[in-house]
């Protein structure tokens, strides 16, 4: 069940955010937000401490004069400009303070790429030394052909024998699973039996990182030269983060030297 997340010092009324779990195209892999620390003002106030100052959210009023009602809160125009300035001038440390925690289910061969992003990340993962529940495998719906450019991992062209080759992949996965179960039945320890499982097997991990760390990861992994599957994860994560840190995320995206594409 989805629980409610109330990020630290979130503006009243407008501040409550529903926890989100988004599935990847295959409906098995997912990204789920578990926890959030901070909001756009966290970035602002980390910067404003230099002058021993602090900002508040600005009330949004509906109506005029004394009868006007406060219907929400927002980052003031002055603070929005500060966030833009910080991002534009690579004053990155204020973006280290907000933190997000996710639970992510991902095929192992994509996880290997994801884990290359190290600075600012903490991770813990399900261990197949200990668990023996039935592994699941990522089988894409379409097998892409190789690209003529060796640096580009794949073309957009679907292989002409897609169905036949996918059937082969499923068969091999099934055989690997049978052998895995057989080894366990025969008393082989899980930490060695897992060696026969394919790289396409899903794993799950919990990851905590700063807004700056995620901006860096998303920036690199949304690039058209990155693998399609990791681009998908990066795009989904980006759209989730944007909802929570709208001003900071847009500024990070806008001024990131590599990050010229739209998020989401
Ligand atoms: C499209 C694409 C293709 C890739 N292909 C390959 C590949 O073929 N083979 C491969 O091995 N990797 C590959 N990578 C992974 C890549 O080399 C990086 O490991 C990954 O992108 C994470 O980079 P990062 O700078 O965010 O790393 P992080 O480890 O998160 O580091 C963040 C930043 O901290 C600083 N930093 C980190 N460690 C050090 C250090 N030891 N000394 C000084 N400064 C440091 C650097 O400024 C660094 O950029 C690929 C990545 C992408 C996006």
Please write down the long-range contacts of 60-66, taking CB distance under 8 Å and 24 or more positions apart. Answer: 60/14
Q: Are residues 32 and 154 in the same domain?
A: no
Would you say the CB of residue 75 lies under 6 angstroms from ligand 1?
Answer: no
pLDDT for residue 88: 92
Q: Are residues 22 and 41 in the same domain?
A: yes
Sorted by sequence, the CB contacts under 8 Å of residue 107 that are 6+ apart come out as: 29, 137, 138, 199, 200, 201, 202, 203, 229
Number of domains in the chain: 2
Out of 221, 231, 250, 261, which one is annotated catalytic?
221
Q: Are residues 79 and 171 in the same domain?
A: no
Q: Are residues 182 and 151 in the same domain?
A: yes
Does residue 257 register a pLDDT over 70? no
| The last residue of a domain, from among 182, 199, 216 | 199
- pTM beyond 0.85: the answer is yes
Does residue 16 register a pLDDT over 70? no
Q: Is 9 a catalytic residue?
A: no
Ligand 1 center to 119 CA (angstroms): 9
| The last residue of a domain, from among 199, 218, 245 | 199
The C-alpha atoms of residue 124 and residue 197 are separated, in whole angstroms, by 20
CA dihedral (186, 192, 194, 195) positive or negative: negative
| The last residue of a domain, from among 199, 215, 237 | 199
Ligand 1 center to 118 CA (angstroms): 8
Does residue 181 register a pLDDT over 70? yes
Would you say the CB of residue 116 lies under 6 angstroms from ligand 1?
Answer: yes
Q: Are residues 105 and 215 in the same domain?
A: yes
Q: Are residues 28 and 120 in the same domain?
A: yes
What's the mean pLDDT in 172-178?
97
Q: Are residues 163 and 116 in the same domain?
A: no
Local confidence band at 224 (pLDDT 50, 70, 90 cut-offs): confident
- Angle at which helices 246-255 and 228-244 cross, to 10°: 130
Query: Considering all CA atoms of the chain, what is the largest pairwise distance in Å, rounded to the nearest integer?
Result: 79
Q: Whose CA is nearest to atom 39 of ligand 1?
A: 119
Q: The domain containing residue 106 runs over which residues?
A: 1-62+70-137+202-264
What's the mean pLDDT in 107-133?
95
Q: Which of 93, 96, 119, 122 to mutate to test the pocket of ligand 1 (most atoms within 8 A of CB)?
A: 119
Does residue 150 register a pLDDT over 80? no
What's the mean pLDDT in 80-107?
95
- For residue 46, what is the domain's CATH number? 3.30.1360.170
Local confidence band at 133 (pLDDT 50, 70, 90 cut-offs): confident
Q: Are residues 23 and 114 in the same domain?
A: yes
Q: How many CB atoms lie within 10 A of CB 53?
A: 10
161 vs 225, which has greater pLDDT? 161
Ligand 1 center to 222 CA (angstroms): 14
User: In percent, how much of the chain has pLDDT > 70?
Assistant: 90
Residue 92: strand, helix, or coil: coil
pLDDT for residue 17: 54
Ligand 1 center to 117 CA (angstroms): 6
Would you say the CB of residue 225 lies under 6 angstroms from ligand 1?
Answer: yes
Q: How many CB atoms lie within 10 A of CB 198?
A: 17
Q: Which of 109, 116, 121, 214 to mutate to test the pocket of ligand 1 (most atoms within 8 A of CB)?
A: 116
Does residue 235 register a pLDDT over 80? yes
Local confidence band at 7 (pLDDT 50, 70, 90 cut-offs): very low
Q: Are residues 147 and 80 in the same domain?
A: no
Structure tokens at 132: 């023996």
Q: Are residues 7 and 111 in the same domain?
A: yes
Q: Are residues 39 and 120 in the same domain?
A: yes
Q: Are residues 156 and 74 in the same domain?
A: no
Would you say the CB of residue 117 lies under 6 angstroms from ligand 1?
Answer: yes
């Amino acid at each position: 069940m989805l629980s409610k997340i109330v990020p630290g010092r979130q503006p009243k009324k407008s501040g409550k955010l529903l926890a989100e779990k988004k599935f990847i195209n295959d409906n098995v892999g997912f990204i789920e937000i578990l926890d959030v620390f901070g909001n756009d003002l966290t970035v602002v106030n980390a910067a404003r401490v230099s002058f021993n100052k602090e900002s508040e959210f600005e009330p949004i009023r509906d109506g005029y004069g004394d009868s006007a009602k406060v219907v929400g809160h927002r980052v003031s125009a002055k603070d929005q400009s500060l966030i833009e300035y910080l991002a534009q001038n690579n004053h990155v440390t204020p973006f280290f303070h907000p933190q997000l925690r996710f639970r992510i289910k991902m095929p192992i061969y994509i996880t290997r790429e994801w884990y290359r992003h190290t600075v600012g990340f903490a991770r813990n993962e399900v261990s197949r030394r200990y668990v023996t529940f039935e592994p699941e495998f990522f089988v894409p719906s379409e097998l892409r052909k190789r690209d003529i450019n060796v640096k580009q991992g794949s073309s957009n062209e679907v292989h002409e024998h897609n169905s036949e080759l996918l059937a082969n992949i499923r068969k091999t996965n099934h055989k690997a699973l049978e052998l895995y179960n057989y080894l366990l039945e025969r008393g082989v320890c899980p930490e060695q039996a897992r060696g026969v499982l394919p790289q396409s097997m899903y794993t799950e991990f919990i990851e905590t990182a700063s807004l700056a760390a995620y901006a860096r990861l998303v920036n690199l992994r949304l690039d058209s030269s990155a693998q399609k599957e990791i681009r998908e994860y990066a795009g989904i994560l980006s759209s989730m983060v944007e909802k929570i840190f709208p001003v900071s995320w847009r500024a990070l995206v806008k001024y990131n030297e590599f990050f010229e594409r739209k998020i989401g």
